[in-house]
Structure formats: C-alpha cells, structure tokens
C-alpha cells in the first residue's frame, strides 16, 4: 500500500470542507496571535539576541511554535497563499537566528540556563521540542520544496546524534516524539544515520533498571523543581525592575477533570 500525500487527496464533504476552510482562513492566524500574546514567539527573539525581555511559558513552549509551523505547512500544501507563506518565512528566519551555531535550540535553557543541556530529559521535553522542530521542517519541505526550515531541522538532528549516539536508556526522552521526527527525516533525505538514531532511542527506551530509574526520576524531579523556583524568583525580580513590562496572557487552560492517579504518569514508563 502506497502512502498518499495531502496534495493527492481532495476532501469534499459538507462538514469537513467547512472545517478545513476555517483552519486555513482563520484558525491558523488566530493561533499565531495566541503565540505572540503568550510570549512564545518573543522567546525566540530573546534567544536570537533581538529582544531584551523575560522568557515566558512552560519549558516546552517552543514546541507550540513548531506545531504551528507544521500546521501552517500542511495547510499551505493544499491551500497556498502569500500571507501564510510570508508569515512562515519570517518565523523560520527567526528560528534560524535563535538556533545555536552547533544546532542546539531550546529557548528555556538558552535564555535561563545557558550552561545547561539535556539535564532533565524525562521531564523538560528537550528532545520532544527538537522533534517537533524536525517534523515542521519535513512538513514545510514537502509543502513548499524549500529547504530553509529543513536545513535548520537537519542541523538540530546532527546535534542530537553527536550528543546521544551510543548512549544508554537514561538518555531517552520522557515524551515520545524525537523518534517519529527522525524517521520522517530519514524518509525524505535517505540519511541512514537518522534511522539508526531513531532505532537507538526506541530500543533503549524503558531498559533502565528499577533502581536506576528511581534514582534518575527523583533527581530530575528535584532538579526541575529547583530550576522552576529559580525562574519564578528571577521573573519576580525582573518585573520589579521593569514596571513597563507588558503582561503576557496564556490561552485558557483545559478544565477537563484529571484523574486522581494522573500524576503517577511520571512513575510509570
């Protein structure tokens, strides 16, 4: 069975056609406005050295911007328009300027903890964010045949391979995503090293011993809590020194009721 690209499929349905039209004409631009309002895009401007401000949002906030790029590319593949192309190109250029010369790109560490990398892999979603960057690069290339975002994605992938090749189960991501991204990158480039890196992550995942896992997760939970506390204090100090700091507004949260055991997801891998 051959896989079909979105350009090879036409959806003609009373319900879904309207939804797709709403996505392409309204939702994708509303989402961009939310990313700007929340400070997510400003995080990249700060990392690029183009804005003096305070980094906002969760440590994994970068992934929201990459998911937007991925969505924009998928929309553009079937409904190309200059407005969306220009918006994507401007942001891709910013992402490239925010990326470290060696390919690393995670604004939480770059801005707040510049001497730290890959410290809390099971909680802070570094590899997850890089994975969504890579997926966005693949989707954008398939939609436009342009390599500007794909080049950034490949540079990030090369950094990951240099840092993680031949490492054990403690060097896997707590949130699956990088594996899919590397497989998609392999599919369009033929670079076997991407396939091998994805295979390593998959085969090493879950192979920590109970004792090793317990020690590692306790260390990471403590580290994450300490870092978050430090960020809160630094933010309070920054706000006190910058009375004109514009307020950032996160979108409303999901008020779905959590189960009493939801926190245990960190303890079960």
Q: Decide if 249 is inside a domain.
A: no
d(CA 150, CA 172): 23
- Token output for 131: 């994975």
Domain presence at residue 265: no
Could you tell me which residues come within 8 angstroms of residue 25 by beta carbon, excluding any fewer than 6 positions away?
none
Domain assignment present for 189: yes
Domain carrying residue 66: 6-238
Spatial distance between the Cα atoms of 227 and 90, rounded to a whole number of angstroms: 32
What distance in Å separates the CA atoms of residue 70 and residue 140, rounded to the nearest whole number?
A: 7
- Is residue 24 included in any domain, yes or no? yes
pLDDT of residue 266: 47
Could you tell me if residue 215 is inside a domain? yes
Number of domains in the chain: 1
Q: How far apart are CA 188 and CA 191, in angstroms?
A: 8
Considering the domain boundaries, does residue 182 fall inside one? yes
Distance CA 52, CA 227 (A): 21
Residue 252 domain-assigned (yes or no): no
Name the residue among 99, 86, 151, 101 with its Cα closest to residue 129.
99
Asked whether residue 144 is assigned to any structural domain, the reply reads yes
Q: Please state the pTM of the whole predicted model.
A: 0.91
Contact 143, 76 (CB under 8 A): yes
Sign of the CA dihedral with 19 first, then 148, 118, and 173 last: positive
Contacts of residue 39, defined as CB under 8 A and 6 or more positions apart, other chains included, come to 53, 55, 56, 57, 248
pLDDT along the chain (269 residues), means of 10: 80 91 95 95 98 95 98 95 97 98 98 96 96 98 97 98 96 94 97 97 93 94 96 96 85 60 52
What spatial distance separates the first Cα and last Cα of the chain, rounded to whole Å?
33
| Cβ proximity of 219 and 208 under 8 Å | no
């Amino acid at each position: 069975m051959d896989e079909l690209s979105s350009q090879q499929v036409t959806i003609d349905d009373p319900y879904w056609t309207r939804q797709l039209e709403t996505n392409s004409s309204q939702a994708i631009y509303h989402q961009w406005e939310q990313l700007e309002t929340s400070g997510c895009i400003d995080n990249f401007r700060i990392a690029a050295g183009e804005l003096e401000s305070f980094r906002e949002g969760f440590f994994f906030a970068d992934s929201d911007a990459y998911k937007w790029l991925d969505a924009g590319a998928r929309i553009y593949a079937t409904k190309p328009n200059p407005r969306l192309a220009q918006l994507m190109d401007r942001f891709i250029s910013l992402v490239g300027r925010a990326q470290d010369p060696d390919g690393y790109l995670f604004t939480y560490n770059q801005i707040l903890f510049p001497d730290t990398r890959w410290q809390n892999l099971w909680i802070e979603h570094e590899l997850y964010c890089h994975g969504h960057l890579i997926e966005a690069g693949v989707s954008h290339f398939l939609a436009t045949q342009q390599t500007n975002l794909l080049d950034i994605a490949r540079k990030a992938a090369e950094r990951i391979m240099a840092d993680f090749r031949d490492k054990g189960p403690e060097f896997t991501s707590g949130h699956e995503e990088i594996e899919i991204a590397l497989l998609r990158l392999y599919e369009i480039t033929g670079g076997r090293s991407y396939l091998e890196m994805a295979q390593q992550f998959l085969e090493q995942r879950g192979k920590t011993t109970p004792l090793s896992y317990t020690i590692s997760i306790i260390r990471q939970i403590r580290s994450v809590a300490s870092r978050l506390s430090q960020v809160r204090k630094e933010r309070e100090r920054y706000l006190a020194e910058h009375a004109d700091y514009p307020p950032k507004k996160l979108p409303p949260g999901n008020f779905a009721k959590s189960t009493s055991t939801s926190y245990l997801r960190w303890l079960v891998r």
